[in-house]
């Protein structure tokens, strides 16, 4: 049976002082709000309120309680929530604010909802660069838990329209501040005593982490999703509803081809073969391909340099 009317009417509000105030009121009332970050749009709620965190899971239809990233507006807020080793501080100094999430020991007095950490002794913290997300944290006065603002398992949203088509009727408000700049989710890194474990590749690359910290970076995610330490990393994420073929040089019959560099294709991630531009366009291209008349999706080979590692990681999951 389908529900004749949505539970809420979802409002898409251009980012500005008034919309921000309203969004902060919703957050304080325990409601999730969709808000842009420099990576993807997040579905944000008060990380200290279990009811609010549960509302994120229910809006997303996320089947199990996976740990969420907690977003902060400054270092002081971060240090009230987690323990920073000298190595963690050095990395945060180098890359915050920005698209980097650090997995750190959670403080016993953090006040975070246990749903956010899913019972782990660590918390994933991020100090984003996007002004809308930072302003919402400041205005609501709360650390904000925020996974990507889409139904569980589907393609991440890099535009307000993507959020609306995925969560219409499930949330009250979307703060619209146009397309995001990075396009893939933040890098997740866990600084240990002597090394850094890379849990999810993103635009802050293993090389950049190594250079800034002087420590080695060990990738602990891999293609088949084994060797993970958090349940969310096992999910087949970023999945379009259609089959996806990778490393395609040309479209076969019934295929919508996502290209890279100069080549015949239906849509191009970057005709100039600019890897950062390709990352920013990736999820929007997958959304368009998924909505196209073709039955299948094909994607051209993408080099693995820099943020290309993150693009290939997301594509492998889309094709899994």
Residues that bind ligand TXA (CB under 6 A): 37, 39-40, 42, 66-69, 101, 103, 117, 120, 122-124, 126, 146-148, 185-186, 188, 199-200, 229-230, 232-233
Measured from the CB atom, the residue of 82 and 299 that comes closer to ligand TXA is: 82
Residue 320 β-bridge partners: none
- Tokens for 97? 């604010």
> Where do runs of H (alpha helix) occur along the chain?
17-28, 50-60, 75-81, 86-95, 114-117, 131-140, 160-167, 206-213, 275-291, 308-319
Measured from the CB atom, the residue of 276 and 317 that comes closer to Mg ion is: 317
How far is residue 226's CA from residue 320's CA, in Å, rounded to a whole number?
A: 13
Select from ligand TXA, Mg ion, none the partner in contact with residue 46, using the beta carbon and a kind-dependent cut-off of 5 to 8 Å. Answer: none
Measured from the CB atom, the residue of 52 and 103 that comes closer to ligand TXA is: 103
Q: Is 148 in the site for Mg ion (CB under 5 A)?
A: yes
ω into residue 75 within 30 of 0, thus cis? no
Q: How many of the chain's residues bind Mg ion (CB under 5 A)?
A: 1
Site pattern 92..131 for Mg ion (x: CB under 5 A)? ----------------------------------------
Shortest CB 54 distance to ligand TXA, Å:
14
Shortest CB 108 distance to Mg ion, Å:
28
Q: Which residues, 6+ apart, have CB-to-CB distance to 105 below 8 Å?
A: 82, 83, 121, 122, 123
Measured from the CB atom, the residue of 42 and 259 that comes closer to Mg ion is: 42
> Hey, what long-range contacts does 23-30 have (CB within 8 A, 24 or more apart)?
23/136, 23/139, 23/140, 23/173, 23/175, 24/136, 24/139, 24/140, 26/172, 26/173, 27/52, 27/136, 27/140, 27/142, 27/144, 28/140, 28/141, 28/142, 30/55
Measured from the CB atom, the residue of 147 and 259 that comes closer to ligand TXA is: 147
Q: Is 180 in the site for Mg ion (CB under 5 A)?
A: no
Q: Work out the number of other CB atoms within 10 angstroms of the CB of residue 293.
A: 6
Measured from the CB atom, the residue of 203 and 268 that comes closer to ligand TXA is: 203
Select from Mg ion, ligand TXA, none the partner in contact with residue 101, using the beta carbon and a kind-dependent cut-off of 5 to 8 Å. Answer: ligand TXA
Shortest CB 96 distance to Mg ion, Å:
21
Using CB under 5 A, list all residues that contact Mg ion.
148
């Amino acid at each position: 049976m389908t529900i004749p009317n949505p539970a809420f009417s979802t409002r898409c509000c251009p980012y500005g002082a008034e919309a921000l105030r309203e969004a902060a009121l919703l957050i304080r009332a325990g409601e999730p709000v969709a808000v842009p970050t420099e990576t993807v749009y997040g579905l944000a709620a008060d990380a200290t309120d279990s009811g609010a965190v549960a509302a994120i899971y229910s809006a997303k239809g996320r089947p199990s309680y996976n740990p969420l990233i907690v977003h902060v507006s400054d270092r002081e807020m971060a240090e009230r929530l987690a323990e920073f080793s000298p190595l963690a501080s050095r990395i945060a100094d180098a890359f915050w604010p920005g698209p980097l999430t650090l997995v750190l020991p959670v403080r016993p007095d953090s006040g975070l909802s246990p749903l956010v950490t899913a019972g782990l002794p660590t918390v994933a913290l991020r100090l984003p660069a996007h002004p809308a997300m930072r302003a919402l944290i400041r205005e609501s006065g709360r650390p904000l838990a925020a996974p990507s603002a889409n139904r569980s398992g589907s393609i991440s949203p890099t535009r307000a329209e993507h959020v609306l088509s995925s969560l219409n009727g499930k949330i009250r408000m979307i703060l619209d501040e146009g397309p995001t700049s990075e396009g893939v989710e933040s890098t997740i890194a866990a600084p240990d005593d002597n090394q850094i474990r890379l849990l999810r590749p993103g635009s802050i690359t293993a090389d950049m982490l190594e250079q800034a910290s002087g420590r080695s970076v060990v990738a602990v995610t891999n293609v088949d999703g084994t060797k993970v330490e958090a349940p969310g990393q096992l999910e087949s994420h970023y999945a379009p509803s259609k089959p996806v073929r990778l490393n395609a040089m040309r479209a076969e019959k019934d295929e919508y081809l996502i290209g890279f560099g100069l080549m015949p294709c239906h849509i191009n991630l970057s005709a100039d073969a600019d890897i950062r531009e390709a990352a920013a366009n990736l999820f929007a291209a997958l959304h368009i391909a998924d909505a196209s008349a073709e039955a299948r999706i094909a994607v051209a080979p993408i080099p693995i340099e820099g943020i290309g590692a993150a693009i290939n990681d997301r594509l492998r999951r889309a094709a899994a």
